[in-house]
Chain A
Amino acid sequence: MTVITVCVGSACHLKGSHQIIEYFKKAIEESRLEKEVELKGTFCMEKCTDGANLLIGEELFHANSPEDAREIFEREILRKRK
């Protein structure tokens, strides 16, 4: 099971974490990965200056838009599965 954890703290919220979460929800559903990928939220990771923070497993990524999130999802989830 892969866990995607998106920060929902104040700063990340402003940088679009809500839309990013919505994107991941949809992406997981559309690629039928509900049994393999779990989506979680977390409060402040104390790296607020770097853009909306998210973890895939233990690895930290930043996304500033659902576009960035799509790029990360394709690269880190979809391609790595194959």
Chain B
Amino acid sequence: MSVPMFIETGEAHVSKFGEILCGDSLSVGSVNGGRLMVLSDGLGSGVKANILATLTTTIATRLMERGLPLEEVVDTLTDTLPECQVRKIAYSTFTLLKVQGDGRAYLAEFDNPPTFFLKRGYVSRLEYKDRIIGTRTIREAHVHVGPGDWFVTVSDGEIHAGIGGLLNLGWDWEKIAKFLETQVHEDISAQKVAQILVNQANELYQDRPGDDTTAGVLKIRAKRFANFMIGPPVKPEEDAAIAQRFLELPGRKVISGGSTAGILAKILHKDVVVDLSTMTDKIPPTGHLEGIDLVTEGVHTVNSCRTILMNIKDIEELSGKRDGASRLAWEFLHADSINIFLGQAINPAHLNPKMPQEMGFKSRSVQAIVNLLKERGKEVNLEVH
């Protein structure tokens, strides 16, 4: 069986110097367990370019999501886009990129720079065929992709970066290709690559970009799975069977709560060792258990993790943090698909009227985390035992 694939996306923009709105638009959609990316560079700059480009990407994305053929997409764009009063044409460029869950990829480009395709770390040329639709010549390519492959698509603002200034002829496609080969590796995110490309262009423009500049990145990689178990099942006789099934799932294993750790330790015939150095005044320490990637305390860690997930923008904010809540949040954000086993057995100590109410809110916090992760586009499967 082949490894399940995941397509990660990233995008970054910088506007032409003096403009507030970017005249490029990039849109990401979903299709057949895969991804769709559409880039358009609107005619001119500022508001008008922004509207043209946004119309183009929105229309193309919606039509492609419904599976319409390229001809229909191009015709619809020609018929719908407003005509430029100065130039008397209804025009904007586009790049349509579709990668399906089975690895089939399709690319159509009109008047945008050729998309960079990286395989095993090197840019390789795509075999394009020209297709004429109406008065337009569109380049098309089909290719089969797998984990480790990247698509990087840019507007001409990237290609021209530095023109007439730091670089006589601008950054140039070939030079960007070489640059990409030095930047792209397995552990870098699609978003980071997009940001690096745009930042580099902005530097070449000496912070005064001569054109709207955009980079859109698709990173094809193995799908990441995480499995999270918190709380023992209501029926203690189910402990072993549920824990066994949890252990057999593919991907990383994370457990929270003392009793849960105890159940897993028994099955694995290992001891839980607490690492006191990870303790903070709010968050109890994490533990080690051979065969499990992360062991944390239950309710306090999960509550803090929920607060982190409500506020965090980028997973990199968690780098170097060792407390249980940050590491739990990292596991959730790093994964694409998360299975959560929530056990609802009641710990008698938590019913003590002297205990703060939040002790009883574990299930509610887990539900809130499920929602936060779904909002971030994660696949989440919650099982309650």
Which residue of the partner chain B has the closest CB to A11? Answer: B349
Which residue of the partner chain B has the closest CB to A46? Answer: B259
Q: Is the CB of A8 within 8 A of B285?
A: yes
Q: Is the CB of A11 within 8 A of B359?
A: yes
Q: Is the CB of A44 within 8 A of B259?
A: yes
Of the listed stretches B45-53, B82-90, B235-243, B295-303, chain A binds B295-303
B306 smallest CB distance to A (angstroms)? 15
Say yes or no: is A70 at the interface (Cβ < 8 Å to chain B): no
Residues facing A in B248-278 (CB within 8 A) are 257-259, 261-262, 272, 274-276
A78 smallest CB distance to B (angstroms)? 22
Q: How far is the CA of A27 from the CA of B257 in the complex (A)?
A: 29
Say yes or no: is A62 at the interface (Cβ < 8 Å to chain B): no
Task: Give 1 or 0 for each of A29-43: 1 = CB within 8 Å of chain B CB.
Answer: 000000000011111
Q: Is the CB of A13 within 8 A of B262?
A: no
Q: Is the CB of B276 within 8 A of A41?
A: yes
- Which B residues are CB-close (under 8 A) to A48? 347-350
Q: How far is the CA of A45 from the CA of B281 in the complex (A)?
A: 21
Which residue of the partner chain A has the closest CB to B280? Answer: A18
Say yes or no: is A2 at the interface (Cβ < 8 Å to chain B): no
Q: Which of A7, A10, A41 contacts B350 (CB 8 A)?
A: A10
Which residue of the partner chain B has the closest CB to A25? Answer: B276
Q: Is the CB of B274 within 8 A of A8?
A: yes
Q: Is the CB of B298 within 8 A of A10?
A: yes
Say yes or no: is B312 at the interface (Cβ < 8 Å to chain A): no
Say yes or no: is B209 at the interface (Cβ < 8 Å to chain A): no
Q: Is the CB of B279 within 8 A of A10?
A: no
- Asked if A14 meets B356 with Cβ closer than 8 Å, knowing A9-B297, A41-B285, A43-B287, the reply is yes
B171 smallest CB distance to A (angstroms)? 54
Q: How far is the CA of A13 from the CA of B350 in the complex (A)?
A: 12
Say yes or no: is B284 at the interface (Cβ < 8 Å to chain A): yes
- Which A residues are CB-close (under 8 A) to B355? 11, 14
- Which A residues are CB-close (under 8 A) to B311? none
- Which B residues are CB-close (under 8 A) to A9? 257-258, 284, 297-298
Say yes or no: is A69 at the interface (Cβ < 8 Å to chain B): no
**Chain A residues in contact with chain B, CB under 8 A?**
7-11, 13-14, 17-18, 21, 39-46, 48-49
20 contacts between A and B (CB under 8 A): A9-B257, A10-B284, A10-B299, A10-B347, A11-B355, A18-B279, A18-B284, A39-B276, A41-B274, A41-B279, A41-B287, A43-B258, A43-B272, A43-B287, A44-B258, A44-B261, A44-B262, A46-B262, A48-B347, A48-B349
For the complex with contacts A10-B284, A46-B259, 20 further pairs of A-B residues with Cβ separation under 8 Å are A7-B258, A8-B274, A8-B276, A10-B257, A10-B347, A11-B349, A11-B355, A13-B300, A14-B300, A14-B356, A41-B274, A41-B285, A43-B272, A43-B274, A43-B295, A43-B297, A44-B257, A45-B258, A48-B349, A49-B352
